Amino acid sequence: MNTLFSLAGRTALVTGGSRGIGRMIAAGFLQQGAKVYISSRKAAACDAAVAELSALGTCIALPADVSTPAGIAALVAAYSARESRLDILVNNAGAAWGAPFDEFPEAGWDKVVDLNLKSPFFLTQALHKLLIAGAAQQPAKVINIASIDGQTVNPQETYSYAASKSGLIHLSKRMALRLVQDNIIVNAICPGAFASEMNRDARDHADAVAARIPARRVGVDDDMAAAAIYLASRAGDYVVGTTLTVDGGVNLVR
């Protein structure tokens, strides 16, 4: 039991790892002994996060825009120049867009769906050989960060976000069925309200948001880190193609 949740000797890549949920997961992985690479579109934010996270362990910045094929290729090349295998991939980079139905723009659709749904597939595909190398001794892991908005309907008019996260949940199942053949385990996490730049209500109005959550609080860093550690560690080796909801019970009352 002392090593069941350990990530010692493991190497992880977390996209969108400079802030919010990605940073929570990166910090948790570091505390469990993993070497962690974080990626984000803004190099300055990525470097600043690494400067702080390095107090917990070995953390390295690989800035990249994974919303484009060129950005994915650049990230894979940068990672491959440093490592010969990948043990854990967290597809967390994401975007949201809200607008009334009659005004919702195609640009808002494409930006969100490309990053939230298309990129996790093609980044995992591009890293497939490195994940296979990581799976030689024990299962490699892919964790796709979806959302409870992909499970139940949010009253906000975030059409492309809801569609992309719902699609990512199902995509994770399809990917899991294929990649388990290579000893690569794929699962998804659906976060609820966590304070972040993307969820400013939870960040700036935590008390009001908490009143609508059965657990009577918004999620904290350790809640998200623990869920990801469970799936990334030996503890989650027999959990294949599932969706872990971490929302304090919101889905039960929506």
The pLDDT tens digits for 95-116 are 999 999 999 999 999 999 999 9
pLDDT value, residue 224: 96
pLDDT value, residue 198: 67
Six token digits for residue 76: 């894979």
Query: 201 or 89: which carries more pLDDT confidence?
Result: 89
Give the list of residues 6+ apart from residue 70 with CB closer than 8 angstroms, or none. Answer: none
φ/ψ of 105, rounded to 5, equals -90, 155
In this model, does residue 40 exceed pLDDT 90?
Answer: yes
In this model, does residue 175 exceed pLDDT 80?
Answer: yes
In this model, does residue 249 exceed pLDDT 70?
Answer: yes
Strand partners, 190: 245
Per the listing, tokens 């010692």 go with 8
Per the listing, tokens 């039960």 go with 252
Rounded distance between C-alpha atoms, residue 103 and residue 209, angstroms: 27
Annotation says 161 is catalytic:
yes
pLDDT value, residue 254: 81
Per the listing, tokens 């390095």 go with 54
Q: How confident is the model at residue 187 (pLDDT cuts 50, 70, 90)?
A: very high
In this model, does residue 82 exceed pLDDT 70?
Answer: yes
pLDDT value, residue 199: 62
- Rounded to the nearest 10 degrees, the angle between the axes of helix 43-53 and helix 20-31 is 30
pLDDT value, residue 195: 80
56-65, 206-215, 239-248: least confident range? 206-215
Strand partners, 191: 246
* Averaged pLDDT, 60-71: 97
Which of 37, 79, 159, 161 is catalytic? The answer is 161
Q: How confident is the model at residue 207 (pLDDT cuts 50, 70, 90)?
A: confident
Provide the CA 36 distance to its chain's centre, in angstroms. 13
Q: Give yes or no for a contact between 169 and 118, defined as CB atoms under 8 angstroms apart.
A: no
pLDDT value, residue 2: 83
pLDDT value, residue 205: 57
Q: Which domains does the chain have, with CATH numbers?
A: 11-249 (3.40.50.720)
